[in-house]
Amino acid sequence: MASDPGKGGPVDFGVKPLVDLYLHQSNAVDQLWTTYVIATFAGGTFALTAAENGGVAVLLAGAIGFSAFTLGHGALVWRTLTRMKLAGKDIAARLGSEPAPASLRHVAGPVNRWIGMTIHVVIDLCVLAAFAVEIAAARAKPPAAEALSALASLV
């Protein structure tokens, strides 16, 4: 409950603003996952193609950049899911044992943040593994082979 600025007492927000908050956060999570899918495919594709054009330094920069992105993104997803979880608990508390539509009861149900975050980490590790494999391959490639490969790409 928040304080009513005019009276100084607590304000009961009711269920509708809490449902609006929950749905807003749900939409935010969907947008975050869409961004994540695009960035992950871009990162993975970059990992698999950058060695041809930039070598180890470019791959390391890509891996560091992807790591920074995914840590920040994971924090945003966690915070958004936390807001959903709290809004759901507040909705459930407001509903109590009163009859309510099934959809509203579903919104008031538990939000499991760990499933999404586990999937996030597994995908992150796959992309970082692609970077690691490509870095190892680029480091193992003899310098002469890199020069011949660069020369061949010009022809």
What is the structure's pLDDT at 95?
85
Q: Rank 10-14, 30-34, 142-146 by mean pLDDT and report only the highest.
A: 30-34
Q: What is the pTM of this model?
A: 0.75
Is 154 part of a structural domain of the chain? Answer: no
Domain with 26, as residue range(s), is 16-140
Is 148 part of a structural domain of the chain? Answer: no
Is 66 part of a structural domain of the chain? Answer: yes
Q: Which amino acid is at 72?
A: G
Q: How many domains does the chain have?
A: 1
With tokens 């003899």, the residue in question is 142
User: Mean pLDDT over residues 83-100, rounded?
Assistant: 87
What is the structure's pLDDT at 50?
84
> Got the DSSP string for 86-106?
HHHHHHHHHHTTS---HHHHH
Is 131 part of a structural domain of the chain? Answer: yes
What is the structure's pLDDT at 146?
63
Is 152 part of a structural domain of the chain? Answer: no
pLDDT at 51 over 90: no
Is 4 part of a structural domain of the chain? Answer: no
User: Mean pLDDT over residues 130-141, rounded?
Assistant: 88
* Residue pair 113/82 in contact by the 8 Å Cβ criterion: yes
Is 153 part of a structural domain of the chain? Answer: no
What is the structure's pLDDT at 129?
95
Is 40 part of a structural domain of the chain? Answer: yes
Q: How many residues are given for the chain? A: 155
Output the CA angle 67-69-74, nearest 5 degrees: 95
